[in-house]
Structure 1
Amino acid sequence: MDSLQNAILSLEISTGVGQSCRCGKGNAIYRCIDCFCSPTLCHACIVVDHTLNPFHRLEKWSGTYFSRISFNDAGGAIHLGHGGQRCHNILPQSGRLITIVHTTGIHTIFATFCGCLDAKSDLLQLTEACLFPATVKSPDTALTFAFLEDLHVHILTSKKSVYDHHSAIQRLTNATSPQSVPNRYHESTRVLRLWRNLTLTRRGGQAHQIDAHFPHRLPKSLAVRCFACPEIGFNVDKAVVDAAAETESHKYTLFLSLDGNFRLQRAEKRHDPDDIALVDGHAYFVNDAQYQEYLKDITPSSDDSTCAQLRAVRMQNKLKFKNAAITGVISVQCARHGHYMPQGTADLEKGEAYARSDYVLIRVLDEAGSQRWIVVSYDIWCQYRKNLAKRVEQHFPNHLPIIDHVRGAVPKMHVKGHMEECQLRWSFNYLPNSGETCGEKIETSWAEQNQSAGSTKQQNAGHRHDSLDDIFGFWNWNKLITLGSLPFLSLSRRLVKNKERLDDLTKSLSKSHTAATVEGWRKEDITPKKIGGVWSSVYIARSKKGRPPSQLKAYQELINQERITAMAGHRKVGDAAFISKGLRIEAEQCRIRALLTSDDPSESAIASARLSLQNTLREWSTTQGQYFPTLRDSLPNPNLAIPEDVSLCLPSQWAVNRPPELNHFVLIERALREGQCHDALDSLRTAIKTFNANYRDKQASVRGQHANTRAQAFLNTLEKDKVSALDKYNRARHALLNLGLSPDDKSLQPLTKSQLWGRDMGVPAELGASKKPEPWFWVVGRPSGLSVAEENDWNYEGTQLRLRILATILSNVFHS
């Protein structure tokens, strides 16, 4: 280190200082720190050597040290219009001082312009010298092309702001007094916008009339396209696509990914209302004027999801939009390779409204009219798809035929947060010919683009669009140049080897069963179906007694049994309805007790609920007296002032000395209580997964005391959901124990508050996590009391399920 330090310090003086210059005419007291191994020169030589390098940093020996001087201080000047030579048609002293911003610093230099009769404007003379003028008329500031290229690439790669880069240039100019350096921040910002636009136009081919070669594309498009996705008229012929079989659809399907980003906001502040986007509508953002006109006809709606697992949206809407005029963007990418689609991005306000998602999707599909297969990946597809065709018919009637070609799915990570029905119907895992598309690639791009949010959110509307268009284009370009790289080829080789191993596994599993059995599995319909109001799929393990019953299903089975009994002339229909009503009254009593113990109990709400419950209890008592006339004296008074404490005298509430009249109703209540237990466990699993998702979102996104307080309040609500499900389960299980359930039953075990947890599947597992077993209710246990035949059915269906999952993997993962 000492040797290196001495070598650096030795550069502060040159051995040739004060000696004769190489020209032999003057003293060598000048040097350049930007020239390679620059010798010490005299005044005349240093000026001549830097006539074509006027922005180098020069130094002059003061007698004790080298001090910084500019080319202008050394008597140099720059000459425009004649290749660096002075024009002979101007006066000797004509010209003016110009501030030049270069990578080496900010320089003030005397400049002369061409004075010939055919001389070009000052604007063009500067531009042809690779100097970008900051104004059109009589510019006195210019930025070198080298500086603009350096600034541009730094902003794209590191996402730094123009302000930070300009501050660095000021310190390069004068490290001890940067405030004395001319401030050209605003000029740099303005010129960079023009530079970005001109660069985008050249690279997009519009400066070379590229539209003539691609008439099927939107005119004047500046977007960098994905070369790997099917584009009819570019990399695949329509005749080939139309002739392809369904089994080849994975090769010709346009996979799109739709997602919102709530970090790329625009702050609520004073903005320039006249600012416009130079690229407006020709790159990745939609045309803003047309977009705003479309929104005028849209009725605002919250678009809240009815999927029980999507409650994370509530926290998102509460916490992320403070002081934001634009709350984020909605974007469309190709789901396979992660390229932003042309005209596939638009601004959001107060959330991810379906109308805005519709607009960007339709704009992307403008070029997809010839596509035969289209798949859209969207984390709320289960809700978004419901009225998609109606909305398109209303606002985009010409695009309705394209929507007929669209299928949808929920990305593989997000689908874990949806209810079982959504996972069966919309998971990529079960989507035929999906080529193992995960649908999550768009999430990886947000991590990169969000680094620019700090600067773009403070920009004017048009400036922000231009900046993000440029950033998205840079992302697409980097994706494009790596499509044929070695990592992709290595991945292909690994997939081939994995396919060979899975083929061997399939053969070994198939050999363990008869050919007829395996062929029967292959012929089964894998499309989910709704049977009896419940979605069913071959990918779910089903057995005669293995499926946990719900209270509704138990009630329906009891009703069917009663009808058969009534037809035989034994008992009338109504016993199951009677007990079911008792359970509803019990639930209402629990709700009132919960109101009384809430943080802010409402007296009016409690009084109203009690009044309604008393009326219900009177009806219940009358019906109960008709069912059990011999027990009328033992039945409670329904007119008590505290109706939530009234005993309903259900069979389960007679722990001892149960009257014989109730024996018939014991079996009915037990069936309903078992369903009630399983419903409570299902609600508990849902509450835990919802809590985990929102807690993860709070840790990652919520900042500040106010936002943290609101987020914690919402998490407390979700915590109460878990406790509520626990209480419901324990009440139902306690009743079952009174009805004869064995305390050692494995399917309905004791449950405590310490067990109200589950692993968060949205984050990688921690080291050693697998050694800590999850609570028992996460595992579907084999039902107790199965006969030998039922045991065989259970084992058969488990093997069947494994083979189906394996078959799905084989059909999807290797198609692409």
Structure 2
Amino acid sequence: MPSSPDFPPVLLLAQRWTGVFFQSSCLKELGLRIQLGHLPRERCSTPRELHPKFVILHTNGIFEIAIDACDCEHALSAGSDKIQLLRAGLFPATDDRPRTAATFEVLDEWMVSTLQAKTTMYDFYKMLEKRTDNAGGCVPNRYNAFIQMSQEYAHLQMLIRGGRGHDSTGMDSTRPGQLAGWENASPDDQYLYIIFLALDACFRLKRRMVSSWAKDPSLSGGWAYFVESPEYREFLMTVTDQKEMSTCSGLAALDYANTKFARGYSATGVGMGVCARHEFIQLNGVGDLQRGERYVAFGICKHGFASLLRHIHHRLRKIISYDIVCQWWKRLKSRLAKLPKLVRLRIVLAICRFVIPKLHIEGHTLLCKVSFSLNLVPGSAQTDGEGIERPWANIGRVASSTGEMGPGSREDTLNNHWAWWNWQKLLGMAERLRTRLDHAKTEYAAQLEAFTTFSTQQETHVLRWRAMVEAFEADGTQKNPYAVEMKALTEAQVLLCLEQEESQRAEAGVPGIHTVSPSSFVAAALEVEDQQWNSKKAGTTAQEINLIALRRDLRRSIRRLRTLQATYTPAVILELAKHQAPEGEQPENEPLFLPSSLSAAQRAVEPVHGLAVIEDQLRDAQCAMSLVLLRNQLMIKARFLLYKRLHARHQGANTRARTLVVRNESKIRLHSEKYQMAHAAKLRLANGDEAKCGWRKLLETDIRCMEDPDDLRKSAVERKKKMDRCLAREDMLRATGELPPLTAEEKEQARRNASENTCEVSWIWTCAGTNGTNDLTFRSR
């Protein structure tokens, strides 16, 4: 029953009736012979059997087939045995005297299964065996042959996709990176021609010390994503163990450097460079790690980074993202100059910006946050730099397989998976970009109003700020306008200036009315106020025990203050006579009658004029410092909440995390109440005129993180309930007289802010005062 190669392979397995039941039977037993080198249904005059037990692997199983090659007068046109098999859609296991072949269909199915579902070779081959005979029968073992065929087939597919082999030079002319497939723009359009590169390492992609490059060479050999292995291995031989010092906290990559958990492994991981925006794996941008993430030995950090830059125009602007870039970029230029000649280059650092991904930067110091933030780099838009984590999540599922492979097989397998990844990313790019564009339009409309309002409030500073920002963006060595600069004077500094002025007046012959100067008198009164405030915070048993001593000291301080008030503010004596103290009143509840508590008429008849001015200056310092401390605690709160949501699991960990959050909340409340108290005093000194006060009223709805991810996920109803609770708490404080009452307009404004768009940045992050003389310089984008 001779046949031609168009015989449907799906019918290679048949069911034969034995007289009792149907039994699976190969068509070879029924007389089927497949003829190569001829048209369908055409006979060969001199057929030649390839092998008596020739095996074909197909999607429905593994079978022995009677197959003949053409050996007649048409043999020259038919070609060699290998060519005849390929023309019939069969991929031979060897070039010389093949005895096994796989259909293109089964190889294509294997490619999709492993690239998309991350199926292992072992499981796929076992599936073919079960499809052949699931009753434990004898099936030809061609596992090793199938491994070799699939590797070669994947390599040829990459050559086809790369357009190689079509000319006279063939595959040998393929250059490194060739299989992975503006300059005159105006300053306003230069951001369109910036390439974003993200670097990172994956310690899951280890490889044990099995096989060798001599026994298992790579078929691609640096033509795709891995660096050229011979040159890279030679470079690693020149590297000795290094102890890298970190000047930044929280760098886990450096903690893993020089790790001792490398015994038995030829590679302890993989370093890689990708496009930070679209997550495409870069040409020749992958290198094996040797004992962790050592600076020089880490392939992607130095050797691999220089290798991928060979394929990028040297004058193209670059933004390089790496989670430890604050350490890695140091002496980068000199280190790149010491690399092997193949990848040695002189990078133009003037057109490069180094940044830390937005999630990783939360674990760095404040200096790193203002020096390497993506938010402060022109042209970065909403790039987060974390895109490289997604290829790691995809490729991590093959780590168990590649860890046991030889070096060449592992390199070709990973290259194949990354080629598939790039292709899938390309297919989904149009839809992804459109989604991001729609989201960007919505966010732009939501934030434009808040930004316009802020610019209007700070109109006198906008031009100067814009000039500073443009200078910094043009030259990163210029002064960083986003760095935190505390220009406001503290209470101690203000007091020192006042005492120096009083000393100068005393030297000029202006006598004082008391040995205690006016500024010292007001400072003492504010200190007593702080003592009262601390006494009200007692809650635990230990604090209650200390409260007795605190009250004793507080009574002593109040008596000294009353003596000074009899000299500087005699009106206080009359107020004390009117004050009917309830029986058993504690000293922390006793009114102090500072200058801000007196009426304008009472302050006008003071023996020493200017006490209100002194208190006003000290209250300014209190407002400024309270805002700085409040912002710091809010940043800590955001970090605590993020850590709790991502890492705290089970009751014990959640309880400890919640304890830290509650402790931080008490500090937030302390600083906010200190600001509110100082603001209320300034408002009284200004006779209720908000414009003269110079500081905005702080509502509880204003006390929020710059970007609160928890609030963003809440519905409008939940945000309204939260706002109502905030206003209720404020009403209780205002009913006791600790805070001034809110007007109906202020309550309505608070409700609107909480219900409409809690994503807007609170004013505490954008301005320090409203009098146009911002004593505190704190800018953040």
TM bin, normalised by shorter chain, reads 0.5 to 0.7
Q: 1:297 to 1:97 in 2, by over 3 A?
A: closer
Structure 1: how far apart are the matches of 2:435 and 2:627? 48
Which residue of structure 1 aligns with residue 307 of structure 2? 363
Structure 1 115/516 Cα, relative in aligned 2: closer, same or farther at 3 Å?
A: same
Greater RCO (CA < 8 Å, at least 6 residues apart) = 1
Q: Indicate which of 377, 380, 405 corresponds to 1:434.
A: 380
Contact kept in structure 2, 1:55 and 1:107, CA below 8 Å: no
Q: 2:8 aligns with which of 47, 50, 53?
A: 53
Q: 8 Å contact 1:538–1:801 — kept in the other structure?
A: no
Equivalent position of 1:616 in the other structure: none
The residue correspondences of 1:208-219 to structure 2 (distance < 5 A) are 208-209=166-167, 219=175
SS of the equivalent of 1:190 reads helix
1:664 alignment counterpart? none
Counterpart contact for 1:392–1:400, Cα < 8 Å? yes
* 2:621 equivalent in structure 1: none
What's the offset of the Cα at 1:470?
A: 0.7
Alignment-mate amino acid for residue 398 of structure 2: S
Residues 323 and 167 (structure 1 numbering): CA distance in 2 closer, same or farther, change over 3 Å?
Answer: same
Which residue is equivalent to 1:794?
769
Instruction: Please state how far the C-alpha of 1:272 moved relative to its aligned partner.
Output: 4.1
Residue in 1 aligned with 2:68?
112
State the distance in 2 between where 1:247 and 1:402 align: 21
Deviation at 1:796, TM superposition (A): 5.9
Q: Distance in 1 between matches of 2:27 and 2:391?
A: 45
Taking structure 1 as reference, are residues 564 and 71 closer, same or farther at Cα in structure 2, changes over 3 Å only? farther
The correspondence for 2:210, drawn from 270, 273, 282, is 270
Which shows bigger deviation, 272-281 or 147-156?
Answer: 272-281
Q: Cα gap change, 1:766/1:132 in structure 2, threshold over 3 Å: closer, same or farther?
A: farther
Distance 1:348 1:401, change over 3 A: closer
Tell me the C-alpha RMSD between the 2 structures. Answer: 5.9
Q: Which residue of 2 aligns with 1:448?
A: 394
C-alpha distance in 1, partners of 2:281/2:251? 26
**Separation in structure 2 between the aligned mates of residue 114 and residue 460 of structure 1, nearest angstrom:** 38
Distance 1:520 1:141, change over 3 A: same
Residues 1:69 and 1:209: Cα distance change in structure 2 (over 3 Å):
same
CA positional deviation for 1:246? 3.0
2:476 corresponds in structure 1 to: none
Q: Which residue pairs with 1:89 in the alignment?
A: 46
Q: 1:201 aligns with which of 139, 159, 171?
A: 159
Closer, same or farther: CA 656–353 of 1 in aligned 2, 3 Å? farther
CA change 1:54–1:258 in 2 (3 A) is closer
CA 1:343–1:793: 2 relative to 1, 3 Å: closer
Range that drifts further, 63-72 or 519-528: 519-528
Separation in 2, partners of 1:128, 1:436: 51
How far does residue 200 in structure 1 lie from its aligned partner after superposition? 0.7
Inter-CA distance 352–801: structure 2 relative to 1 (3 Å threshold): farther
Distance across 2 between alignment mates of 1:210 and 1:136: 21
In 1, are the aligned partners of 2:176 and 2:222 still within 8 Å (CA)? no
For residues 683-702 of structure 1, the aligned pairs below 5 Å read: none
Distance in 2 of aligned mates of 1:797 and 1:347: 57
**In 1, are the aligned partners of 2:4 and 2:38 still within 8 Å (CA)?**
no
Give distance in 1, aligned partners of 2:6 and 2:287.
Answer: 49
Moved more, 383-392 or 295-304: 295-304
SS in 2 for 1:107: strand
Whether the 8 Å CA contact 2:33–2:65 is kept in 1: the answer is yes
| Change in 2 beyond 3 A, CA 1:693/1:223 | farther
Q: Which runs of 5+ in 2 are unaligned?
A: 474-478, 508-552, 561-625, 672-677, 682-706, 724-738, 740-763
* 1:337 match: 278
Structure 1 CA distance for aligned equivalents of residues 224 and 50 of structure 2:
45
TM-score (norm: length of structure 1): 0.60
Distance 1:149 1:481 in 2: 19
SS of aligned partner of 1:400? coil
Q: Distance in 2 between matches of 1:296 and 1:49?
A: 56
Q: Find 1:72's aligned residue among 25, 28, 31.
A: 28
Asked if 1 retains the 8 angstrom alpha-carbon contact of 2:484 and 2:777, the reply is no
| Corresponding residue SS for 2:357 | coil
Aligned sequence identity (%): 26
1:100 is aligned to 2:66: no
Q: What is the SS of the residue equivalent to 1:395? A: coil
Structure 2 CA distance for aligned equivalents of residues 798 and 385 of structure 1: 38
Note the C-alpha offset of 1:224. 3.2
Q: Displacement, 1:421?
A: 1.0
| Distance in 2 between residues matched to 1:560 and 1:221, nearest whole Å | 67
Matched, 1:420 2:366: yes
SS at the partner of 2:453? Answer: helix
Q: Distance between the aligned counterparts of 1:76 and 1:763, measured in 2?
A: 72
Task: Report if the CA contact (8 A) 1:259-1:378 is conserved.
Answer: yes
Superposition deviation, residue 490 in structure 1: 4.3
2:87 to 108, 128, 133: 128
Corresponding residue number in structure 1 for 2:453: 509
Q: Deviation of residue 521 (structure 1)?
A: 3.9
The CA deviation at 1:270 is: 3.5
Paired residues for 1:600-611 under 5 Å: none
Would you say 1:492 and 2:437 are equivalent positions? yes
Residue 438 of structure 1: how far off its partner (Å)? 1.9
CA contact (8 A) 2:53 2:65 kept: yes
Q: Which whole-Å CA distance do the structure 2 matches of 1:802 and 1:475 have between them?
A: 47
3-state DSSP of counterpart to 1:96: coil
| Residues 554-580 of structure 1: per-residue CA shift (max 9 Å, x gap) | 99999999999999999xxxxxxxxxx
Q: Whole-Å Cα distance in 1 between the matches of residues 50 and 378 of structure 2?
A: 76
Counterpart-to-counterpart distance in 1, 2:711 and 2:332: 32
1:526 Cα deviation after fit? 6.6
Residue of structure 2 equivalent to 1:11: none
Structure 1 SS opposite 2:159: helix
Distance in 2, matches of 1:763 and 1:415, equals 22
Matches within 5 A, 1:608-623: none
1-structure distance, mates of 2:718, 2:205: 35
What amino acid maps onto 1:259 in structure 2?
A: D
Instruction: Indicate whether 1:378 and 2:322 are aligned.
Output: yes
Q: Distance in 2 between matches of 1:309 and 1:769?
A: 35
Counterparts in 2 of 1:301 and 1:564: CA distance versus 1, 3 Å:
farther
Amino acid aligned to 2:122: Y
Distance 1:511 1:421 in 2: 26
Query: CA deviation digits over 1:82-134, x for unaligned, max 9?
Result: 2354421247x896231110011111111112223645432222222221111
Pick closer, same or farther for the CA change 1:277–1:686 going to 2, 3 Å: farther
What SS does the corresponding residue of 1:183 show, helix, strand or coil?
A: coil
Distance in structure 2 (CA, Å) of the matches to 1:362 and 1:437: 23
Distance 1:299 1:693, change over 3 A: farther
Taking a change above 3 Å as real, the CA distance of residues 492 and 681 of structure 1, as seen in their structure-2 partners, is closer
- Structure 1 pair 112–223 and aligned structure 2 pair: CA distance change class (3 A): closer
Supply the AA of the counterpart residue of 2:164: Q
In structure 1, what is the Cα distance between the partners aligned to 2:310 and 2:442? 40
Q: Which deviations, in whole Å up to 9, do the C-alpha atoms of 1:512-541 show, x marking residues without a partner?
A: 447544444433437779xxxxx9644758
What's the counterpart of residue 191 of structure 1?
A: 149
Q: Kindly indicate whether the alpha-carbon contact (under 8 Å) linking 2:260 and 2:291 is maintained by their aligned counterparts in 1.
A: no
Query: Which residue pairs with 2:200 in the alignment?
Result: 259
- Separation in structure 2 between the aligned mates of residue 525 and residue 696 of structure 1, nearest angstrom: 35
Mapped partners of 2:718, 2:241: distance in 1: 45
TM-score, with structure 2 as normaliser: 0.62
Which blocks of at least 5 consecutive residues in structure 1 are unaligned? 1-43, 226-239, 530-534, 571-653, 661-676, 701-711, 734-741, 746-758, 774-783, 785-789, 809-816
Match of 1:463 among 409, 427, 440: 409
How far the C-alpha of 1:223 sits from its partner, in A, is 3.4
Q: 2:337 aligns with which of 388, 393, 407?
A: 393
**Could you say what secondary structure the match of 1:794 adopts?**
coil
Could you say which residue in structure 2 is the equivalent of 1:708? Answer: none
**Equivalent residue runs for 1:722-733 within 5 Å:** none
Distance 1:681 1:197 in 2: 60
